[in-house]
Chain A
Amino acid sequence: MKIVIMFAALLLSGCGGGDDSSTSDLPRGITDNTITLGSHTDLSGQLAIWGVPTTNGMRMRFGQANDAGGIHGRMIKLVVEDSQYQVPVAVKATNKLLNVDKIFFMIGAMGTPMNNAVMPRMFEAGVPNLFPVSAAVSMYEPLHPMKFSYFVSYRDQARGAIVYMTKKHDIHTVCLQTLATDYGAEIGIGFEQAVEELGLEVAYRGSHKPTETDFIGTVTAIKNSGCEMLVLGPFIKDSIAIYTTARNAGWDAPIVGNMVPYLPAVAQAPDGRMNGFYTAASFYLPDYEFEAQRDSWVGRWYQDYRQAFGEEPAPQAQIGYVIADLAVRALEAAGPDITIEKVLAALENIDRYEDPFGGPSLSFSPTKHQGGDFLNLYQVVDGKWEVVEANLPF
């Protein structure tokens, strides 16, 4: 009973605090000197390795904007909630961001099922979902004025890579191994599209659970199926496991992954184990330490990040930084009399945005809400990612 009463008291006290923002005719999330943005992301669950650095990257860019005097005098306030990569927690977090913090828009929200779960209620409240940390097709399709995606989707990454590789290496038989999750399903769709478009033959198609670690059976089946190229859609650990198992088994056909295993740590696997592995991604990861020595923009960014957060930037921090940069541009272009419509229009006006880290350009238009214009195809050469082909269409 005590606890119930305490709970009631907590609720009532919270109640009084939340009503002070509706005093003038400014849009939700905007006051005379602040802009409140929200994000729900995984800070402590299985994908915290993505959630923490992207959040840091966003905080860093918004911090810079605030240090430079804010957006037309308004300071950006980013409210981040931990979703622990669980749908119910993400729903609760979104309810808080929408109803208590009254955010202007959502940025960098993590996870495909979490975003799918909360988007309807966000749009009902008139809050757009900008650049979620998910490369699912549903982040920008069907076209909706309030959905914008930074990534080229997993589907298009797979399709672009297959189209390029099959033409370049004269491949007619392909096979696919993905995770049995929403992410794997997306890659499967891109695979099917490419197969149909090019009239390829599918020799093998398999999936595995995230907990699986042994792929000898899978690799033997792939090898015996007579396929000429393997398309991969697993996470990081299993990508490495499948690739090394296949090479150990003496199978040397090309193996293509997507942006998920495109990480320095994967290329740096000992003994050049990952040499020859292809990935397709719509962004470029510079060698931070190399850049730091030659005092380039990326080098200074690297030093600033280390100073701000006391740790090396993970590559995902760069993505957080870029999406925050896109948001800052749109907010600035919207002018002092800011409304959400103006911000969305400004986003749609972004044309050939050059990512400061050197990846393919990004463009938006009223009919194109997926940012990436092109893909880059990378390959591991001597423990480092090298660009095989830049600006690949998909």
Chain B
Amino acid sequence: MQYLFKTRYEDDVRFLAKSGEKIRVGLVVLFMLAAPLMLQDYYLAELGLLLVYAIAGIGLMILTGFTGQVSFGHAAFLGIGAYSHSILMARAVPFSLSILITILIAGLVGMIIGRSASKMHGFYLAIATLAFAILIETVFGEWKSLTGGHAGLAVPALKVFGVTLAKVWQQYYVDLVMAGIVIWGASNLFRAPTGRAFIAVRDSELSARSLGVNVEWVKIQAFGVSAAITALAGALLAHQLTFLAPDVFGVLESLKLLLMIVVGGLGSILGAVFGAIFVSVLPVAISFLKDVLPPSIGQKAGLEPLLFGTIIVLFIVFEPLGIYGRWLKLRFFFETFPYYRKASFVRQKSYLKTERMR
């Protein structure tokens, strides 16, 4: 068991308080930086895609995991990001400016949606966000002059400051830098008043209101920030896919994002990253498993969704806190060895839910 002795004020605001955390994060950062030297293009592209989904996951996590607002339509923001970035790039807007404008557009759309969503709860919110996603998908299909309609839109090459980055490793570093900025930014957000207000609204709207938090405005902000980050992921995803069609951003993609953060573990930034690892690594692993299995099983149609679904069900049944929850328990087990008790993770306090003001 390690005890933290805080001897300076900075100790309170450090991201990585324990030495173990520093080593682990350092190792991951080292691995990510050195990955292009070690990995083949295919694995590197997968790793890049993983980073993009991690960014999208953090976007949704801010809304669903930290502010408690469920969204069944986040693929719409992914799509807005991908399309507006590609359209701007095709009109010779430089990369950095295009990304900024994309984030602004999506943030604005997110806040407009947030304005109406801030009055909704539970099922109504879920249905409203789902409807929004279907609406946006239709707009992508019908606004032919801008999006190319259902025939699709080719994404221009990734060009940063006049240098074309066509190689897989070059794109990977762009994704890595963006993911780094987003993770760092999101971690900071939750130690600032805005982020704390998000969490307060999630835990109890009534308490938040009594502490002087403007609940509606917080929800609008959460939608805005979440949409902006997801759109950034969309812009990067566009470069990975090199071709956009409206059905890329359908309901299935929204569900995938939601599934990602639920399996990863709601309410933590690390959970979003774990979720992204889960949805990226598992299909690759299954695809290699197929080659090993006998053809009568390996070549069966639908093997992939079956295994994928089974693992998700097992997670929801046996570890509702997601991969992040499992990781916390594992770490706690080693840190307190041999004093680990199951009861440590049983919630002691229960709040009385009397928030029926509507």
- Decide yes or no whether B319 CB sits under 8 A from chain A: no
What sequence of 0s and 1s flags, for each residue 95-108 of chain A, a beta carbon within 8 Å of any chain B beta carbon? 11011100000000
Give complex CA distance A10, B50 in Å. Answer: 15
User: Which secondary structure dominates chain A's binding surface?
Assistant: helix
Segment from A11-19, A315-323, A343-351 that makes contact with B: A11-19
Closest A residue to B237 by beta carbon equals A88
Number of residues on chain A facing chain B (CB within 8 A)? 49
CB of B109 within 8 A of chain A? no
Residue of B nearest to A6 (CB): B281
B224 to chain A, nearest CB (A): 25
Query: Known contacts A88-B237, A117-B245: does B24 contact A1 (CB below 8 Å)?
Result: yes
**Given A11-B39, A100-B40, are A182 and B151 also a contact pair (CB < 8 Å)?**
yes
Smallest CB–CB gap between A37 and chain B, Å?
A: 14
Residue A152 lies at the interface, judged by CB distance under 8 Å to chain B: no
What's the A-B contact tally at a CB cutoff of 8 Å? 132
Query: B28 near A: Cβ within 8 Å?
Result: yes
Closest residue of B by beta carbon distance from A98: B42
Q: Which of the candidate stretches A76-84, A212-220, A327-335 sits at the interface with the other chain? A: A76-84
Q: Does B180 contact A (CB under 8 A)?
A: no
List B contacts of A92 (CB < 8 A). Answer: 45-46, 49, 283-284
Q: Does A184 contact B (CB under 8 A)?
A: yes
Of residues 20 through 44 on chain B, the ones whose CB sits less than 8 Å from some CB of chain A are: 24, 28, 31, 38-43
Most buried by A among B24, B150, B237, B274: B150
Residues in A neighbouring B47, C-beta threshold 8 A? 11
User: Which residue on chain B has the smallest CB distance to residue A78?
Assistant: B299
**B288 within 8 A of partner (CB):** yes
Evaluate whether A180 and B141 lie within 8 angstroms (CB atoms) in the complex, with A2-B327, A96-B287, A185-B149 already known.
yes
Does A33 touch B at the CB level, under 8 Å?
Answer: no
Asked if B305 contacts A87 (CB within 8 A), the reply is: no
Q: Are B245 and A7 in contact (CB under 8 A)?
A: no
Chain A contacts for B237, CB-based, 8 A = 88
- Cβ of A44 and Cβ of B305 under 8 Å apart? yes
In the complex, which residues 239-264 of chain A have their Cβ closer than 8 Å to any Cβ of chain B?
none
Asked whether any CB of chain B lies closer than 8 Å to the CB of A4, the reply is: yes
A→B interface (CB under 8 Å): 1-4, 7-8, 10-12, 14-15, 18, 43-44, 48, 51-52, 55, 59, 80-82, 84, 86-89, 91-93, 95-96, 98-100, 113, 116-118, 120-121, 138, 180-185, 209
10 A-B residue pairs with CB within 8 Å:
A7-B277, A51-B301, A88-B49, A92-B49, A100-B40, A117-B245, A120-B242, A180-B150, A184-B150, A185-B150
Name B's A-contacting residues (CB within 8 A): 24, 28, 31, 38-43, 45-47, 49, 138, 141-142, 149-152, 154, 237, 240-243, 245, 247-248, 252-253, 274, 277-278, 281, 283-285, 287-288, 299, 301-305, 323, 327, 330
**Which are the 8 A-B pairs with shortest beta-carbon distances?**
A99-B42, A117-B243, A113-B245, A182-B150, A43-B301, A44-B302, A87-B248, A52-B301
